[in-house]
Amino acid sequence: MTRNVFRLGGKRAVVTGGASGIGQAIARTFAERGATVHILDVNEDAAQETARAIVAAGGAATAHRCDVTDGADVERVFGAILQQGRLAILVNDAGIAHVGNLESTTADDLDRIYRVNVKGVYHCMHACIGHMKEQGGGVILNMASVAASVGIADRFAYSMSKGAVLAMTYSAAKDYAQHNVRVVSISPARVHTPFVDGFLKANYPGREAEMFAKLSATQPIGRMGTPQEVADLALYLCSDEAAFATGTDYPIDGGFLRLNT
């Protein structure tokens, strides 16, 4: 008998940072599997474009401009979404990067990373957790990073923020397991997104190919991951097939954590 697995039909999902990169791949994948997807992004035009592409492909998606650093804005957007019905899934993907060690990271740098990567996750979890409790369950998926678990050179503020995301995941999972709310996280290594291309162009003009190869080689598998590969893992973790998974981080890293010795 063939099982019809990893379906999200009838489920409503919020994906923050869903207008590009990993978040966009997750939004598209969830919609393909039947979810009604709400795309939250500070870039409203890009969010609208992603939603239109999903609808054109036969899916259901709505774009919302949302600044996850602003608690009032998050409450406003989630309030409108929750009025439409049950929210089954929250994916916290919105985040920013920073390059620098302790000495070169300013207090403003640290605050900026904290506001987006830490408080942004808090705001969105806080906005929906009461709803999920009342409805009898849900899934929260947070995007962490391998930087949360190992030291990576020149990633002081970013590593701090992703370590906090990992700790919030574990804490919320313990607090809300009794309410049938599963909380998990994914820790990617380097993933080839438009951000990577922009970073290389801005910081290594004329050496983009050389630096791309260097970054790719840091994964023992010999390449960066793809947004779709992360999205496929997210699909599993947010599906009913992962009903036994909570309070756990799932690396997807081409061997970065265990095979780099």
Exposed (0-12), middle (13-18) or buried (19+): which is 120, by Cβ within 10 Å? buried
Q: Could you give the 3-state DSSP secondary structure of residue 59?
A: coil
CA 118 vs CA 10, 93, 254: distances in Å: 30, 11, 25
| Alpha helix ranges (H) inside 204-260 | 208-216, 227-238, 256-259
The C-alpha atoms of residue 39 and residue 142 are separated, in whole angstroms, by: 15
- In whole angstroms, what is the distance from residue 160 CA to residue 107 CA? 13
Catalytic annotation present for 204: no
Catalytic residue among 158, 204, 236, 250: 158
If you write DSSP's letter for every residue of 159-207 in order, what string do you get? Answer: HHHHHHHHHHHHHHHHHHGGGTEEEEEEEE--B--HHHHHHHHHHSTT-
Query: Residues with catalytic annotation?
Result: 158
